[in-house]
Amino acid sequence: MKNSNLNLKNITSKEKRNLVKNVFTEVSKNYDFMNDLMSFGLHRLWKIQFCNFIDFSSKKKILDLAAGSGDLTKIIYENFNNCDVTLIDSNKKMLDEAKKKLSKYKLDFIQSFAENLPFKKSTFDYVICAFGVRNFTDMDKALSESYRTLKSKGKFLCLEFSKPNNMPFKIAFKIYGKIIPKMGKVFANNENAYKYLIESIKSFPDQEKFSNILQKHKFKNIECYDILSGIASIHIGEK
Ligand SMILES: C[S@@+](CC[C@H](N)C(=O)[O-])C[C@H]1O[C@@H](n2cnc3c(N)ncnc32)[C@H](O)[C@@H]1O
């Protein structure tokens, strides 16, 4: 990771794929601890808020895309449970953490890329993705695959860091961007992985642009909800 090219604007697909692989392999053991530390535990509340957009009134088939250590699925099984969730992630070490966390549930854990989903078309009622999209090598391909694997009227839900829309939050976010790599160095002995985190947030499209991207991928009835004045946002698109 030491000499990785962290300038995401000038990086080849192959370099990004390797970078992302190395980042999550290296942070996997500390991933949950660092998430709690860096967000003051807020990411848990955001994820609960996100899962509240899923309609559990009848049994749903859900794909947890870029599932990482399995937080979303855990929230779903602990709070709602009327569903059948499949977890997919490209990183073995992250999925190993998810398997540990969710060992009491009988679930499918699949190591695969979002850009090439190993499912037939129209399989899922929901494809949900928290803090995954900005890491994809080919976001367009991943969105097309999400669309393909959704049933008609199925929904794609995305929780991602976004662009704050007022000055105090903009300033706070800028300061935060400088502190996070230092925290990564002190608490996880990995400054570069957390520099990547900040770079990937900076290079991700803002709320409006991401809504347009979803539209370009044929999603309908697009909704966008800001969290904490746009520090993060939830996008929803329907097939
Ligand atoms: C920031 S973590 C998010 C994990 C989890 N969803 C959460 O909210 O805590 C991003 C995850 O995306 C995965 N990822 C990155 N690129 C991917 C790709 N192309 N296909 C599938 N998963 C990918 C990483 O391995 C990592 O586990």
Are the beta carbons of 31 and 100 closer than 8 angstroms? no
User: In this structure, is residue 1 part of a structural domain?
Assistant: no
User: In this structure, is residue 153 part of a structural domain?
Assistant: yes
pLDDT at 1: 61
User: In this structure, is residue 120 part of a structural domain?
Assistant: yes
Residue bearing the CA closest to ligand 1, atom 26: 68
User: In this structure, is residue 124 part of a structural domain?
Assistant: yes
Angle between helices 31-39 and 13-27 (to 10 degrees): 90
User: In this structure, is residue 117 part of a structural domain?
Assistant: yes
Q: Cβ atoms within 10 A of the Cβ of 128, count?
A: 28
Q: What is the CATH number of the domain that holds 119?
A: 3.40.50.150
User: In this structure, is residue 50 part of a structural domain?
Assistant: yes
- CA–centroid distance, residue 169 to ligand 1 (Å): 26
- CA–centroid distance, residue 113 to ligand 1 (Å): 9
Domain that holds residue 111: 8-238
Q: Is the minimum distance from the CB of 70 to ligand 1 under 6 angstroms?
A: no
| Per-residue tens of pLDDT for the chain, all 239 residues | 655 666 777 788 999 999 999 999 999 999 999 999 988 899 999 999 999 999 999 999 999 999 999 999 999 999 987 899 999 999 999 999 999 999 999 999 999 999 999 999 999 999 999 999 999 999 999 999 999 999 999 999 999 999 999 999 899 888 988 999 898 888 888 888 889 899 999 999 999 999 999 999 999 999 999 999 999 999 999 99
Burial of 167 (0-12, 13-18, 19+ CB in 10 A): exposed
User: In this structure, is residue 2 part of a structural domain?
Assistant: no
Q: Which amino acid is at 27?
A: V
**Residues 225, 221: Cα–Cα separation, whole Å:** 13
Residue among 61, 65, 62 at smallest CA distance from 114: 65
Number of domains in the chain: 1
Residue among 152, 171, 139, 160 at smallest CA distance from 221: 152
User: In this structure, is residue 3 part of a structural domain?
Assistant: no
Pocket-testing residue among 20, 26, 141, ligand 1, by greatest number of atoms within 8 A of Cβ: 20
